[in-house]
Structure 1
Amino acid sequence: MGTYTSLYVNDFDLAISKSAVIPEIMTVFVESDRRSLWRRTSDCEVVDGPSGDDDIERAVEYVTTGEKAIQRLDVMGFTLERCRREYDEIRNEAIQGLRDAVAEDGLASDGSDNFYAKEIEKYERLTFDEYAAAFKSVLERKLQWYDLTSEQRATLHATTSYILSDQHDDWHNFGFMCRDIRSFLRMALSVSAPDAILRQDVSGLVSAGWVRAEDPIRDDAVRLLVERYPENAPRIVLTEGSSDAEILKISLAVLFPHLVGYYTFFDFHGSKAAGGATQLISVVKAFAAAGVANRVIAVLDNDTAAHEARRALRDVLLPENIAIVHYPPRDWLREYPTLGPSGDVSLDVNSKAASIELYLGRDVLTVGGNLCPVQWAGYSQAMRAYQGEVVDKPGVIERWRAKANRCLEERTSIVPAYWADIRAVWEQIMAAFPA
Structure 2
Amino acid sequence: MGTSIELCIGNVSLSYSKNHMGIDYGFLFQEGDLFDRNMDPIAYGSYEEHPEEMGELDEAEELFARTLSRILPRLEILGFTLEAARAEYQAVVAEAVELDSYSELEEKKYEYLSFEEFCNLACRYPLSDLKSGYIEYETPDRDMLSQGRFAADIDEFDRIPWTDNSDSYWSETSFLSARVCILSAESMLRVFALNAANAEVEVTWAFGSIVHAGWVQREAFLPGAQQKQKVLIATEGVSDARIIRRSLDILRPDVADFFNFVDVNERHHFWGTGNLVKFAEGLLRIDVLNQVLFVFDNDAEGVDAYRKLEKLTLPGNMRAMLLPDLEDFREFATLGPEGVSVSDINGRAAAIECYLDLRLDQYPPPQVTWSNFKKDIGAWHGALDYKDSYSKHFYDQSDDLLRNGSYDVSKLLKLNDALIEQAGLLTP
Quickly say closer, same or farther: Cα 1:294–1:163, change in 2 above 3 A: farther
How far apart, in 2, do the equivalents of 1:420 and 1:185 lie? 29
Higher helix fraction (1 or 2):
1
Equivalent runs, 1:16-95 vs 2, <5 Å: 16-37=16-37, 39=38, 57-95=59-97
CA contact (8 A) 1:12 1:139 kept: no
* Aligned twin of 1:428: 418
Residue 314 of structure 2 is aligned to residue 318 of structure 1 = yes
5+ residue gaps, structure 2, are 44-54, 136-140, 169-173
1:11/1:41 Cα in 2 relative to 1: closer, same or farther (>3 Å)? closer
* Alignment deviations for residues 288-337 of structure 1 (CA, whole Å, 9 cap, x no partner): 34333343222111100011112323532221232222111121212222
Find the residue that maps to 2:269 and give its secondary structure: coil
Matches within 5 A, 1:20-419: 20-37=20-37, 39=38, 57-96=59-98, 98-99=100-101, 101=102, 114-115=104-105, 117-121=106-110, 124-137=111-124, 140=127, 142=130, 147=135, 149-152=142-145, 156-160=153-157, 166=163, 168=165, 173-174=178-179, 176=181, 178=183, 180-191=184-195, 193-210=198-215, 215=219, 217-219=221-223, 230=228, 233-267=229-263, 272-363=268-359, 366-368=360-362, 370-407=364-401, 411-413=403-405, 415=406, 418-419=408-409
Deviations 1:95-116 (A, max 9, x none): 24544x47xxxxxxxxxxx43x
How far apart in 1 are the matches of 2:153 and 2:276? 58
The number of residues matched between the two structures is 395
SS at match of 1:285: helix
Q: Is the 8 A contact 1:65 1:197 kept in 2?
A: yes
Distance, in Å, in 2 between the alignment partners of 1:87 and 1:164 is 9
% same residue: 23
Q: What secondary structure, in the 3-state scheme, does the structure 2 residue paired with 1:370 have? A: coil
- C-alpha deviation, 1:248, in angstroms: 0.8
CA distance in 1, matches of 2:411, 2:337: 29
Q: CA deviation at 1:369?
A: 6.0
Gaps of 5+ in 1: 45-52, 103-113
The one-letter code sitting in structure 2 at the alignment partner of 1:396 is: Y
The 8 Å contact of residues 35 and 63 in structure 2, kept in 1 or not, is answered as yes
Q: By how many angstroms is 1:77 displaced?
A: 0.8
What is the root-mean-square deviation of aligned Cα atoms in Å? Answer: 3.5
Structure 2: distance between partners of 1:54 and 1:307: 62
Q: 1:31 to 1:285 in 2, by over 3 A?
A: same
Contact kept? 1:4, 1:205, Cα under 8 Å: yes
Q: Equivalent residue of 1:274, what SS?
A: coil
Shift in alpha-carbon separation, 1:349–1:248, aligned structure 2, 3 A: same
TM-score by length of 1: 0.79
Q: Which deviations, in whole Å up to 9, do the C-alpha atoms of 1:203-237 show, x marking residues without a partner?
A: 31343244677x472249x75xx5xxx5xx21222
Judging changes above 3 Å, is the alpha-carbon distance between structure 1 residues 162 and 271 closer, same or farther for their aligned structure 2 residues? farther
Question: Shift of the alpha carbon at 1:14?
Answer: 3.4
